[in-house]
A and B are shown apart, each in its own frame.
Chain A
Amino acid sequence: MARQPLSPEESARRLRQRNMALAFSLVSLVILFFIITLVKGVPLLNRAI
């Protein structure tokens, strides 16, 4: 299925959108580990294993 090439503006907009999503995911991951550590205590890995 042939796709129409996107305009540079649209490409840039989508790249920004993806970067935002990536940043959001990374921040979520940090918060996630913070919550897990808070609930399970430190050191997390030792307790988990």
Chain B
Amino acid sequence: MTYIADSDAVPGGGSPAAGIAVSDAMVSDYIALLKPRVMSLVVFTALVGMVMAPTHIHAALAVIALAMIAIGAGASGALNMWFESDIDALMTRTRGRPLPRGAITHDEALTFGIMLSAGSVLVLGLVANWLAAALLAFTIFFYAVVYTQWLKRTTPLNIVIGGAAGAMPPVVAWAAMTGDLSLPPVILFLIIFLWTPPHFWALALYKSDDYARAGVPMLPVVAGSDETRRQIIVYSAFYLPATLLPVTCGFAGLLYGGIAMLLALCFGVGAWRVYRLRQGGKAEQAARQLFALSILHLFLLFVLLLVEHISGVSPLMAPLAGWMAG
């Protein structure tokens, strides 16, 4: 820790009684604050939202808009880590993050998060439109304040409601392209929103000790693992049919529909195994498998949407409509 100038002591500082704490953080610590793995999923789902949008903006502007959505997501991750360093230090999964490690001070993380948030919203507004910028600002606020500071520590429905933030990137991307909203981005939102609970509850099942130690009221901690397994089945029953909505709403084709049904079957089997296997190593293995499977599942669905739209495979409804029109 390096100290410069005389000022108020800063949390995360160490020795001198007065002085601004400047950490010895490396650039990689700042990158870790942005949650790069989460960011990659955000970029990918936003990209799909962009590609599916019927109108197109200049390629340079589209690339910048996508980067701003990614940076906005990263900024909300930094603000999340700034607020959660106390519980992150208690959980094995998160204790290696820059703040609990002492690599970055709280003030640095907060400043970094706020500046990137403001910058990404401003640039997205300039580069695309202010609807997209407002949606990005709302997403950051929802994740960093509503989810992180309120829901996460108060209710077992934290990730159900908080999942809305993670589901927003394709909506923001669509708005950036069109300046408007319509059914397809809402359905993409719905798919990610309904995907979130089974995904996180699978993780919470085998990390429940971690969450209990940190006092986070995740469902397995509050309601027990059996109830969590039941809820995984219930939410999967909403999620899996929702993955077929792009076909029924006419913006995905038979390729997507066919493979989505097979993937739904795989996901259903994974969820059922979690429900049935309740004891010992096999139970934990089933939960780990569902967690990994859920990531792959969502990724493949969006790959399919992307491939169909890039390759121009006709959506199901278009040829049907043509045939009916004679």
On A, residues with C-beta under 8 Å from B are 1, 3, 5-6, 10-11, 14-15, 17-18, 21, 29, 32, 35-36, 39-40, 44-45, 48-49
A17 touches B64 (CB 8 A): no
8 A–B contacts from the bound complex (CB under 8 Å) = A1-B95, A1-B101, A1-B102, A14-B24, A14-B26, A17-B27, A18-B25, A45-B126
Number of residues on chain B facing chain A (CB within 8 A): 25
Q: Complex: how many Å from CA A45 to CA B61?
A: 15
Main DSSP-derived SS at the A contact region: helix
B27 touches A44 (CB 8 A): no
Verify if B127 is at the interface (C-beta below 8 Å from A): yes
Q: Which of B96-128 contact A (CB under 8 A)?
A: 100-103, 119, 123, 125-127
On B, residues with C-beta under 8 Å from A are 1-2, 22, 24-27, 30, 58, 60-61, 64, 89, 95, 100-103, 119, 123, 125-127, 129-130
A48 touches B130 (CB 8 A): yes
What chain B residues lie within 8 Å of A48 (beta carbons)? Answer: 125-126, 129-130
Count of A-B residue pairs with CB < 8 Å:
49
Given contacts A3-B102, A11-B2, A21-B30, contact A36 B127 (CB under 8 A): yes
What chain B residues lie within 8 Å of A45 (beta carbons)? Answer: 126
Shortest CB distance A19–B (Å): 10
What chain B residues lie within 8 Å of A1 (beta carbons)? Answer: 89, 95, 100-102
Shortest CB distance A38–B (Å): 8
What chain A residues lie within 8 Å of B100 (beta carbons)? Answer: 1
Given contacts A15-B2, A39-B58, A44-B126, contact A6 B24 (CB under 8 A): yes
Q: Complex: how many Å from CA A40 to CA B65?
A: 13
Given contacts A3-B102, A14-B25, contact A35 B64 (CB under 8 A): yes
Q: Complex: how many Å from CA A3 to CA B99?
A: 12
Question: Which partner residue on chain A sits nearest B58 by CB separation?
Answer: A39
Shortest CB distance A10–B (Å): 7
B61 touches A21 (CB 8 A): no
A39 touches B24 (CB 8 A): no
Q: Complex: how many Å from CA A18 to CA B22?
A: 11
